[in-house]
A and B are shown apart, each in its own frame.
Chain A
Amino acid sequence: MQLLMYRAPLALSLVLFSGCSIYGGGAVVSEQQPEPGEIVPGGSAPELPSVPVAPYADLLRRAEVARDAGHYEEALVQLERAQRIDPTNAAIYLSLAQTHWARGARGQARATAERGLLYCDLESQCAALARLAQ
């Protein structure tokens, strides 16, 4: 129950913002919940205005919950489904890269972030991807 109470505001805090999504509903980026003491590059969510929710917003939300619980494979399954639906959304690449980083696949995190940079428009998002790509 306590966990649910913690998760609810977290889910609500998902920031939806416009990026290069092919569906016009905007990209979805969530706040990061790194392990205590761990710095996840590109992890701080930018403050952005809210716009219509993308159809796969729930996939990203579930991916974040899975990632936070350490279920990286489950998170990747959700994110890859979202990426197939909207392959030009930089926010999905950011989340994919963060998940790879969290599971220790640093090389894959870097390559995925670099790919995301091809699609990012927003400065904050590009900066987050660039940090992971380094």
Chain B
Amino acid sequence: MTRTHRPFLKLSLTGLLILAMVLVYLDARITSTFTDKMWELPAKVFARPLELFAGARVSADDLEYELAVLGYRTVDSARNPGQVSRRGNRFDIYTRGFDFPDERELPRRVQVRTSGKNISGLSAGGEKVDLMRLDPVQIGGIYPLHGEDRILARLEDVPETLRTGLIAVEDRRFYSHSGFSIVGIARAALSNLRSGQVVAGGSTITQQLVKNYYLTPERTLLRKLTEVWMAILLELHYDKAQILESYINEVYLGQDGPRAIHGFELAARHYFDSPLDQLGLHQQALLIGMIKGPSLYNPLRNPQRALKRRNVVLKVMAQEDVISLEHATVASAMPLGLNRKPSIRGSFPAYIDLVRRQLRQEYREEDLATLGLSIFTAFDPLLQRQVERSTERVMDQLDSADELQTATVVTRFDSGEVAALVGGRRLRYAGFNRALDARRPVGSLLKPAVYLAALERPQDYTLATLLSDSPVQISGPGGQLWEPRNFDRQSHGDVLLHQAISHSYNLATARLGMELGLASLVDMLQRLGMEREVPRVPALTLGAGEYSPMDMAAMYQAIAAGGFRMPLRSIRAIVDAQGAPLRRYPLEYDRTVSLQATHLLHYALRAVMREGTGSAAYAYLPREFEVAGKTGTTNDGRDSWFAGFSGDLLAVTWIGHDDNSGTGLTGSSGALRLWADFMASAAQRSLGYRMPDGIETYWVDERDGRLTGKGCPHSRLLPFAAGSEPVGRTSCAPRRSAIKDWFQALFNK
């Protein structure tokens, strides 16, 4: 007897031991993960907030666009946060408020008046408001590989009807069971038996949470048993409120492309563009109904099916006394109330790519996708809209076959912030980001570095120095002869230095570059912020090497800023999931180039636009609007470049083929047109003229660079570093002259 029982006893004991170990393991799994940090929260990437104040350069159209991408609803009278009413140029906005890294902007009702391109008045409750910010647009997120996205909601912020309705539909005995319900399982088993297949799960809310959070979706007996045990353990450790809150944040409610919509709060915003606590009964019922089949009842794809399901839920809610029959009847008659506006989120893959790369230097990818960081960037939706419009407009004119590619970087050079970015012709396509990854020669775009290196030696070189633009042969590495040519295949004899820049003469530039020495040019490029390795060959003087539009933006940024190098920034600040500031990217200047030399270069780059290769820009820009810039064309027209700046914006544009074939374009006939089209609509400030200390102006003869008198033949007023003015003088005495060139006109502004 004893013999026969012993093996059974041993087996039982072993089984119990294994069961205990499994339970201990499951228990440890639950208690170690079921915390307030259990969710993987993707990083949210925000655009810059729009600053509102009287005098701000924001037109009515701009404001309307900003509010539209923010998802503000147009109503007759703004009574709730997120609403706006507009009458002509008067906007009545009930702002949402926002927790910025530096302070909280409270929701409030404000009145904004616009006049022309400006805000002319800003008030709240009859009181003038000096300055305020709208909430920033979320332009994207950094998601984990499985694409889960959610916005956490606290149970107390969930509408009562949604909570009780959810329980009525999904788990009527939620508050009385201990994790699983025998009645529920029996009912499900009966349904499955009748239909001959698995049609019902009979899972409680606790079981569903366990299944979704801890287990795989396959339907096996072992998984079901594990689910039941874990549900019981979960109920032992945590109260019903904690479990319900977790369920509300975990539940899967559909797909938005690669992004999985989890939790009711995100679903409310995704389907209705509304916070959860502002949903109507009909919307709450729809979300509850979707749990049964998020894809099947997706209201955006299957509206009729979703409507039917929603009304079933409303009926159940009325039967269970969650709502009255009257309320259910009224809600059943309502339309689905969906948000059909296309979301701006995910629309700017090139810029998000830039943000991501900056972040990767300091954060692990998995942290970015899970820690719930808020990333505040300098992205400007209004500028992005303009650059995208210009890109589409000009590229369609240049190439109806849709074969040419393009990229543009826009920065605010006073702060070094990248405000907008186009990475290719397909604006919403997250593919090859040409703004960051294209590697192309830049032609004459690099010439300003040569001239800056020269102008830093005022005793040797001034804007009036005569340079020889005659054929030249230069020995390169390995004894190779380099024989540059001008674009027009002509040589122009002796030309003044400023003319060599404005007309982009290659022979004069190559000669000057070799006079200065390649080391001097490389040093200047580095001081201008060029971090890429450049080839130390004579052709460097004419733009040899491989550069991205972003490299060029960094270089021209330093030039536009007056000789101050600033790292280009896309991120302003990072805040953790609790709202605590983690990191700020401050404004920092580093003066690396002579102020006077940069000032002289600005003169030459303005001359490019007024009388040189960039003058076609004035077919787009108002005559009195001052800009400076430089064209770039590479051999056989493979690359068309333009880099230039106004008083507020710097933009670098590239056009070319990915396969490096010829485009038939020059910098002037291609990239300049796109740049000018953009600047004409986006730039707000003409490039001002201020002469720094140590600069003086003199009249010189344009033919030979000698000093001459005002009003003399071929006289031209030029700026010089003090003490570097020409020594020779013509015999012409000053005389009266009413003729003024663009440079003299600057002094009358």
Contacts and interface: CB of A to CB of B under 8 A. Distances in A.
A20 to B, nearest CB: 8
Nearest to A84: B415
**Chain B interface mostly helix, strand, loop or mixed?**
loop
B647 interface: yes
A80 B690 contact: no
B131 A118 contact: no
A55 B54 contact: yes
A88 B414 contact: yes
B589 A115 contact: yes
Contacts of B690: 20, 118-119
Contacts of A118: 562, 595, 690, 692
A57 B55 CA distance: 14
Given A25-B55, A59-B131, A117-B692, A80 B591 contact: no
Contacts of A85: 51, 53, 56, 131
B682 to A, nearest CB: 16
Given A77-B584, A88-B414, A55 B130 contact: yes
Interface in B12-57: 51, 53-56
A111 B587 contact: no
Given A24-B55, A111-B590, A57 B130 contact: yes
A113 B393 CA distance: 42
A53 interface: yes
Interface in B269-319: none
A80 B586 contact: yes
Contacts of B648: 87
A128 interface: no
A22 interface: yes
A58 B589 contact: no
Nearest to A82: B131
B131 A87 contact: no
A7 interface: no
Contacts of B412: 84, 87
B685 interface: yes
Nearest to B52: A55
B55 A83 contact: no
Nearest to A77: B102
A78 B692 contact: no
B130 A115 contact: no
A25 B564 CA distance: 27
Interface string A12-37: 00000000101111000000000000
Contacts of B205: none
Interface string B204-246: 0000000000000000000000000000000000000000000
B493 interface: no
B311 to A, nearest CB: 50
Interface string A39-58: 00000000000000101111
Contacts of A84: 51, 412, 415, 417
A111 B416 CA distance: 15
A112 interface: yes
A58 B131 CA distance: 9
A96 interface: yes
Contacts of B51: 84-85
A80 B564 CA distance: 17
A124 interface: no
A122 B51 CA distance: 27
B488 interface: no
B52 to A, nearest CB: 9
Contacts of B688: 20, 88
A84 B414 CA distance: 8
A55 B53 contact: yes
A114 interface: yes
Nearest to B54: A55
B256 interface: no
Contacts of A76: 586-587
B266 interface: no
B14 to A, nearest CB: 63
B112 to A, nearest CB: 13
B47 to A, nearest CB: 13
Contacts of A20: 688, 690
A114 B586 CA distance: 17
B48 to A, nearest CB: 8
A114 B566 CA distance: 14
Nearest to B648: A87
Interface in A70-92: 73-74, 76-78, 80-81, 83-85, 87-88
Nearest to B57: A22
A111 B131 contact: no
A32 to B, nearest CB: 21
Contact of A78 (B102, B415, B693): B102
A97 to B, nearest CB: 10
Interface string B109-128: 00000000000000000000
Contacts of B562: 115, 118
B55 A56 contact: no
Nearest to A58: B130
B692 A22 contact: no
A53 B564 contact: no
B414 A112 contact: no
A108 B595 contact: no
Given A25-B55, A87-B415, A88-B647, A114 B591 contact: yes
B588 A74 contact: no
A56 B131 CA distance: 7
Nearest to A114: B591
Contacts of B60: none
B342 to A, nearest CB: 29
B561 interface: yes
Nearest to A130: B693
Interface string B575-586: 000000000101
B589 A112 contact: yes
A106 B65 CA distance: 43
A133 to B, nearest CB: 9
B412 to A, nearest CB: 7
A22 B53 CA distance: 13
B589 A108 contact: yes
A123 to B, nearest CB: 12
A73 B588 contact: no
Contacts of A25: 55
A23 B101 CA distance: 26
B102 A81 contact: yes
A30 B736 CA distance: 46
Contacts of A24: 55
A81 to B, nearest CB: 7
Contacts of B564: 111, 114-115
Contact of A114 (B130, B595, B685): B595
Given A22-B685, A77-B584, A111-B590, A55 B55 contact: yes
Contacts of B55: 23-25, 55
A81 B692 CA distance: 26
29 contacts: A20-B688, A20-B690, A22-B685, A23-B55, A25-B55, A55-B54, A55-B55, A56-B53, A56-B131, A73-B584, A74-B102, A76-B587, A77-B102, A77-B584, A78-B102, A80-B415, A81-B102, A83-B587, A84-B412, A84-B417, A85-B131, A88-B414, A96-B587, A111-B588, A114-B589, A114-B591, A114-B595, A115-B561, A118-B692
**In the A-B complex, the 5 residue pairs with the closest CB atoms:** A87-B414, A55-B53, A111-B589, A55-B131, A77-B102
Given A111-B588, A111-B589, A118-B562, 5 more contacts: A76-B586, A87-B648, A88-B414, A114-B589, A117-B693
